[in-house]
Amino acid sequence: VQLVESGGGLVQTGGSLRLSCVVSGRIFSVGIMGWYRQVPGKQRELVAAISRGGSTNYADSVKGRFTISRDNGKNTVYLQMNSLKPEDTAVYYCNAAVTSPVVSGINDYWGQGTQVTVSS
């Protein structure tokens, strides 16, 4: 199972970016998917999560600015980030709970991370 993120980059304050993450490999199903972020010296924190049915959860710091969505047919999760602030600068990681024929049970997988930098 692999998670591949794309869409990071450099943007000015107030700008927008859209992150994508595709889950590939031998998969039965993908459950909860989420985006986390981490800055040097700090713990990785949840940004947003979405269930297979579309229920969402957001960190208070991004509510009203970020929107998480998913396409179950494509095993893909998106994070639309608007009104970006310098404090949103971080490496963003995709996470997915996956069942597969290779490993028993539900297992967490992570992407490699994509850098988001918001300049002031």
Instruction: Provide, rounded to the nearest whole percent, the portion of the chain with pLDDT above 90.
Output: 94
Asked if 3 contacts 107 with a C-beta cutoff of 8 angstroms, the reply is: no
The SS3 of residue 53 is coil
CA separation (Å) from 86 to 64, 72, 91, 107, 119?
16, 32, 13, 33, 6
Which pLDDT belongs to residue 103?
Answer: 86
CB 21 within 8 A of CB 1: no
Provide the residue type at 71 as one letter: D
What pLDDT digit, counting tens, does each position of 55-106 carry?
A: 999 999 999 999 999 999 999 999 999 999 999 999 999 999 999 998 889 9
Q: What is the pLDDT of residue 104?
A: 87
